Amino acid sequence: MEPNISKLRNIGISAHIDSGKTTLTERILFYTRRIRAMHEVKGADGVGATMDSMELERERGITIASAATHCLWAGHRINIIDTPGHVDFTMEVERALRVLDAAILVLCAVAGVQSQSLTVDRQMRRYGIPRIVFINKCDRVGANPSRVMTHLRERLALNPVMLQLPLGLEEKFVGVVDLIQMKTLKFEGTAGEKIVVGDIAAENMEEALAAREQMLDSLSMFSDALTEAVLEERVDEELIHQTIRKAVLNHQIVPVLMGSAYKNKGIQALLDAVVRYLPGPEEIVQEAIDLDKDESVCTLSAKPDDPAVAFAFKLEDGRFGQLTYLRIYQGRLKRDSTLVNSRNSKEHRVGRLVRMHADRMEDIQEAITGDIVAIFGVDCQSGDTFTDGGRRVSMTAMHVPDPVVSLSIKPCDIKSEENMSKALRRFAKEDPTFRTHVDPETQQTVIQGMGELHLEVYIERMKREYKAQVEVSAPQVAYRETITKTVHYDYVHKKQTGGAGQYGKVCGYIEPMEEGQSEFVDKITGGSIPRQYIPAVEKGFVEMLKKGPLVHAPMERVRVVLEDGNYHPVDSKEVAFLEAAKGAWRQVIHQAGPQILEPIVRVAVDGPPDFSGAILGSLSQRRGMILGQQEEAGQMHIEAEVPLAEMFGYATALRSITEGKAAFSMEFVRYMPAPLNIAQALVEQARQKFDR
Ligand code: GDP
């Protein structure tokens, strides 16, 4: 039977670390009968929750890689992409978000919107992902769903609509009041599997009616039909569901449900909401780049009978070779069919097609548009697009940030050296924000990534999964350089030593740009430099832009303009113009007011108010600029912008000044000029390193 794509949901579950995402996922898999027993995240039974498949994750109890799994609920298939919580893994999150159609945002009923939820929410907004909020941990002391509602409004600027009220709170939490049915739902039995529907007790009625009215008020804003029905007092459940669904899809509201994953309460109602209110794949317009039509943007159809288009969003090194996770955007994938990689036109046969369940898999014959599956042994990169050859398209490029932290590593022995290079090749392929190269100046292997923890995790994986023991240097910030003044150049490269000579003359100017990558502009019109030599001039400048004059960092925001020049009919050749460009650069670059740029991160810290002085102090001490602070419900929330270079080791420092009671997250925001004293120290360091 052909699966119905309107009954498919591709969702992510995202949350601040420790909000209960893993526990919730586990419960979802249990209620949908994907797993038979539940385990705690760091369970005494030593098994660990099903989704954290890597050994490292089990040990640390955090979810790093975005595993995919699926389950069935009320006649719908739900694919769950487990998005990692830590900001340092933004690429993982971004890739997961690229293939999601919707998400559940899990918030803790006590802590509410925490530092990490801010970042995740910003990312979801960027990808236009509709979401449902689940307020978890209603059983905890201090649980307060209405405060979380205020957070959603104030901190995330969302329009939350509460569809339930808690039935009891803290240790008395037993279930929810469903404001649509106007019934109570209790979750009984050993694992909350028995849903007991009851009437709202008289003493709770007033509160429930008021909350329902508020819900209907908020929803009426988006539906004339509902407004009329409310006035005529003939509101039916179906109309409410329809209104919510439409408003969610239009990003007008965020429905809010609640429960306790740990105590097995409220999960089934959340699953109902997922299938009722979140969109299926055909309801989302998917754009791609048409490679046959000048890379213009085209829309995919989401029809199963159109040519196949699938996107590789995650790679894993499995027991049977490379496992590639694909999201199908159009058409269908079949076992034994041939796929073409749009990037390099290479053909691959689909030997095995599987659907993933954490670290287990099920073989399938065919999958259709909208679905998420995995294939084996296909050599490709993450972010590649596959088609069946019928239509040459590429899914729009993913936003890949440049790495901001680097460190050098050295294998401890020969065996480790081999294993290390194997591991590095693998990681770089899996994760575009992880890069590696050999520094030509020091001959050391350098790895680069999005943060300290990002690199730490790869070093751990190198040790555990690849048995590569490595020595690690202190992390370094990836600086950039730019210029502050416009300078003119006029340079002749001349060489006359026996044989044929070299002659090339270049004139023009170098100027600072507001922002962006550096660029070369050719303004030669009269043929003062013949066309065939222009690329050599460009190459010369581009080479110089790779290594700034101060600390050998790549230069950005620099425009090099070539206006004039001269040549010699015999002695001019490409190399002469290449050298002329380099010479011109060296001649003037120090007059252009070169400047070092350092990466700045936005840091959010949550902790008890008693420690706010210490936290503020720790940020100022790190050259941080405090953006704001807010105290609420016994928690202090502080945001600041801090140079990344100062943030190394902050996790440890914060733990020690707050007795481990505070948490922080950070996200790269921009490059800014480094202050003079810092810049001088960096220049001095570079001089010692490079001018030996
Ligand atoms: P994640 O980091 O978001 O994946 O969170 P986990 O699922 O690992 O949960 C973090 C901790 O909170 C674990 O110790 C869980 O047992 C606990 N936890 C999860 N859900 C609840 C809940 O509903 N109530 C309470 N009291 N604790 C919970």
pTM for the whole structure: 0.69
CA-proximal residue: ligand 1, atom 11 (nearest): 18
| Placement of tokens 């694919």 in the chain | 79
Q: Which atom of ligand 1 is nearest to the CA of 136?
A: 23
CA of 19 to the centre of ligand 1 (A): 6
- pLDDT, tens only, 374-410: 898 888 887 889 998 877 888 866 556 677 788 889 9
Q: Kindly indicate the confidence band of residue 189, based on its pLDDT and cuts at 50, 70 and 90.
A: confident
Report residues whose beta carbon is within 6 angstroms of any ligand 1 atom: 15, 17-23, 40-41, 61, 63, 85, 136-137, 139-140, 260-263
Mean local confidence (pLDDT), 663-689: 88
Predicted local confidence at residue 144, as pLDDT: 95
**CA dihedral (239, 242, 246, 247) positive or negative:** positive
CA of 265 to the centre of ligand 1 (A): 13
The CA distance from 638 to 634, in Å, is 13
**Structure tokens belonging to residue 388:** 């069946």
Q: Which amino acid is at 339?
A: L
CA of 529 to the centre of ligand 1 (A): 68
Pairing of strands 405-411, 353-357: unpaired
- Which range has the worst mean pLDDT, 131-135, 339-343, 441-445? 441-445
Pairing of strands 663-673, 435-438: unpaired
**Structure tokens belonging to residue 601:** 């991160």
Q: Which residues of 657-673 are buried (b: 16+ CB within 10 A; e: fewer)?
A: bbeeebbbbbbbeebee
Q: Which residues of 168-200 are buried (b: 16+ CB within 10 A; e: fewer)?
A: ebbeebbbbbbbbeeebbbbeeeebeeeeeeeb
CA of 69 to the centre of ligand 1 (A): 20
Residue 377 or 88, more confident: 377
Q: Evaluate whether 262 touches 285 at the Cβ level (below 8 Å).
A: no
Q: Which atom of ligand 1 is nearest to the CA of 41?
A: 8
User: Which of the 8 DSSP states describes residue 104?
Assistant: E
CA of 84 to the centre of ligand 1 (A): 15
Which among 589, 556, 594 is positioned nearest to 489, based on CA atoms? 589
Which among 28, 120, 80 is positioned nearest to 325, based on CA atoms? 80
CA-proximal residue: ligand 1, atom 9 (nearest): 20
CA-proximal residue: ligand 1, atom 15 (nearest): 20
Where does 403-486 show beta strands of DSSP type E? Answer: 405-411, 435-438, 445-449, 470-472, 476-477, 480-482
Q: Kindly indicate the confidence band of residue 633, based on its pLDDT and cuts at 50, 70 and 90.
A: low
Q: What percent of the chain clears pLDDT 70, i.e. is strictly above it?
A: 90
- pLDDT, tens only, 541-590: 999 999 999 999 999 999 999 999 988 887 778 889 999 999 999 999 99
Residue 443 or 158, more confident: 158
Q: Is the predicted pLDDT of residue 671 greater than 70, yes or no?
A: yes
Which ranges in 158-266 belong to alpha helices (H)? 202-220, 224-231, 237-249
Mean local confidence (pLDDT), 90-105: 79
Q: Is the predicted pLDDT of residue 667 greater than 90, yes or no?
A: no
- pLDDT, tens only, 461-515: 899 889 999 999 888 888 999 999 999 999 999 887 766 788 899 999 999 998 8
Predicted local confidence at residue 400, as pLDDT: 67
CA-proximal residue: ligand 1, atom 18 (nearest): 20
- Which range has the worst mean pLDDT, 72-81, 245-254, 424-433, 522-531? 424-433
**Structure tokens belonging to residue 209:** 């009616």
Residue 443 exposure: Cα atoms within 13 Å on the Cβ side? 1
Q: Is the predicted pLDDT of residue 681 greater than 70, yes or no?
A: yes
Q: Is the predicted pLDDT of residue 116 greater than 80, yes or no?
A: no
